[in-house]
Amino acid sequence: MVSNLSHGIEAFTSNVFLVTGDRTVLVDAGANYDVVSATREHTETLDAVVLTHTHDDHVENVPALREAFDVETWGFDAEREHVDHEIGDGDSVRLGDHSYEALHTPGHKDDHLVFHSPAAGVGFVGDLVFANGAFGRTDLAEGDARKLVESIERLQNALDESIDVLHTGHGPAIEAPLAGVESSLRAARFSA
């Protein structure tokens, strides 16, 4: 089961997804609100925090989660603050009851990852793409419009009809993933 712990929060934060099952994991940690209390409304334990990337709005709550749950974090680059363990491109990551493939998708940020699982029918795309044809910013440090387009193309090639929903780093989920990613790709190509 996937729950967005940031739903209804009026603060500058990313979405924070609690994935429960065999392995209870948070995808991203969020910022500027009490994610520990929000997590404890659903579970008393966490097995890991998995990061799509290390922009502040996705990682600021990591220290509080570490302290409250004695939990370690996983992300693309273990040299970055808030990342304890590295997830490589193509690695398999267990979230809840399913294995998800990690794809390195730079362009918004050099350490950006997306995760998708055909068995679960779910993907977590961070700030790569958003609902309604939107896509991640490239005007911040490490942003690169050409790389972002390539990463969206990579995501598009990795997805098939088995994916029912893509959970985004901000805003609503993409409920028609193939069409949604295609729309974001067109817009990103136009802007690059």
| Average pLDDT over every residue of 155-174 | 97
**pLDDT over 90 (residue 84):** yes
| Average pLDDT over every residue of 96-110 | 98
**pLDDT over 90 (residue 63):** yes
Closest CA to 25 of 90, 72, 68, 76: 72
59-84 b/e with 16+ CB inside 10 Å = b?
bbbbebbbebbebebbbbeeebebbe
Q: Which of 2-6, 146-150, 187-191 has the lowest mean pLDDT?
A: 187-191
| Domain assignments of the chain as residue spans, ordered by start | 2-191
What confidence score (pLDDT) does residue 192 get?
72
Q: Contact 191/149 with Cβ under 8 angstroms?
A: no
What confidence score (pLDDT) does residue 187 get?
95
pTM over 0.85: yes
What confidence score (pLDDT) does residue 83 get?
98
What confidence score (pLDDT) does residue 191 get?
86
**pLDDT over 80 (residue 101):** yes
The CATH T-level fold of domain 2-191 is Metallo-beta-lactamase; Chain A (3.60.15)
